[in-house]
Amino acid sequence: MVNIVDNPIDPAAVYNSICSAFSGSVVLHYAVVKKQAGLGKVTKSIEYKVQGDAILELEGIASEIERCWNLEDVLMIRRTGLLNVGEIISLVAVSAPNSEDTFEACKFGLNRMRRMATIIKNEKYADISTT
């Protein structure tokens, strides 16, 4: 399952939707807005917008994951809108009979989500100048 949301992602709901009686391993990865952007800048917030068919792109990533690993379920969520430091940006969740498949599949999904062409990122920085 894949989804694009503009509301906060609920970790408990995600776990309950991906775990089954057959799951020997469930891996969830949340990408979170971090304060330090690098290059001496401090992130204030990040705005994410959809440009194109993001659901189709996510479905393609999820299908690729399902073809490559022995999994029970895959869940991918991307959030849009203005997110502040500490808020969840995205989620990759996988469940499988064994942990090797879940870790590898989750890592692959995370790397592919980072490069989504249909999600536009606009980072807003705090004014840290001293005057």
pLDDT in tens, 44-78: 999 999 999 999 999 999 999 999 999 999 999 99
Residues 43 and 34: beta-carbon distance below 8 Å: yes
CA distances from 67 to 56, 73, 110 (A): 17, 12, 16
Question: Quick count: other Cβ atoms within 10 Å of Cβ 3?
Answer: 14
pLDDT tier for residue 130 given thresholds of 50, 70 and 90: very low
State the pTM of this model. Answer: 0.87
pLDDT tier for residue 23 given thresholds of 50, 70 and 90: confident
Give CATH for domain 2-125: 3.90.1170.40
One-letter amino acid for residue 53 of the chain: D
One-letter amino acid for residue 44 of the chain: K
Q: What are the domain boundaries of the chain?
A: 2-125
- Position 40 scores a pLDDT of 75
pLDDT in tens, 81-94: 999 999 999 999 99
Closest listed residue to residue 41, CA positions, set 85, 98, 104: 85
- Position 21 scores a pLDDT of 66
